[in-house]
Amino acid sequence: MVRQALVSGEIRPGDIYSAAALATRLGVSSSPVREAMLTLVSQGLMEPVRNRGYRVVPMSEHDLDEIHEMRLFLEIPGTLKAAAHAGPEDLRRLESIAADIETAAEARDVPRLLDADRCFHLELLALGGNKRLVDTVAALRDRTRLYGLEALAARGSLGGAAGEHRAILAAVAERDTARLAGLLQEHLRHVRADWARPDAPDSG
């Protein structure tokens, strides 16, 4: 939950958060929040502020551009390779996750959508059998800041983003690698160009 709040921009760079205050804000107990914050510190996503709490490490536009470029280099070819191994059971599991993404979008539940979206893409990528690649892409995803999703949720405009996953699955099922590559590139373009902006336009 803390990770999703960081990625979505609910907790932002510059502000200092104690585990207790953040737990109250998120409606959970302090212990798991403290553990999550320490994990994020070890991953370089947060930094401790002596006697005060923790602060999100800021990301510049250049940082986000570099992350986007790395995801293009790694995630698209990795997912194309992984998709070749997708069987009927894998597709059913991914369809269930895609349905959860759509449900979260309809409910304007950004943390749930982020969690399901992360699960969808990493589970698909994992079919390729390269755990280090999955871990690397997961770390890059966690460094992305999707401030614009809150604005899209407020306007009820998350449906377009959610619906992209059905098209991706269809391309996987049909073994249409050219179409799949194009869909993944467009999906990542949305991540960088639209969802990372505080004033994100309507992408649906």
Q: Where are the domains of the chain?
A: 2-56, 61-195
Burial of 103 (0-12, 13-18, 19+ CB in 10 A): middle
CATH class of the domain defined by 2-56 = mainly alpha
Neighbouring residues of 102: CB distance < 8 A, sequence distance ≥ 6: 159, 162, 163, 165, 166
What architecture is the 61-195 domain classified under in CATH?
Up-down Bundle (1.20)
pLDDT digits over 13-42, tens only?
778 888 888 888 888 888 888 898 898 888
- Which pLDDT belongs to residue 104? 87
- Which pLDDT belongs to residue 190? 77
**pLDDT band at residue 56 using 50, 70 and 90 as cut-offs:** confident
pLDDT digits over 133-184, tens only?
999 999 888 777 655 555 555 555 566 667 889 999 999 999 999 999 999 9
- What would the mean pLDDT of 107-115 be, rounded to a whole number? 82
Residue 101: HSE in the Cβ half-sphere, 13 Å Cα cutoff? 23
C-alpha 68, offset from chain centre: 12
pLDDT digits over 65-100, tens only?
898 899 999 999 999 999 999 999 999 999 999 999
Tokens of 130: 């390269």
Q: Tell me whether domains 2-56 and 61-195 share a fold.
A: no
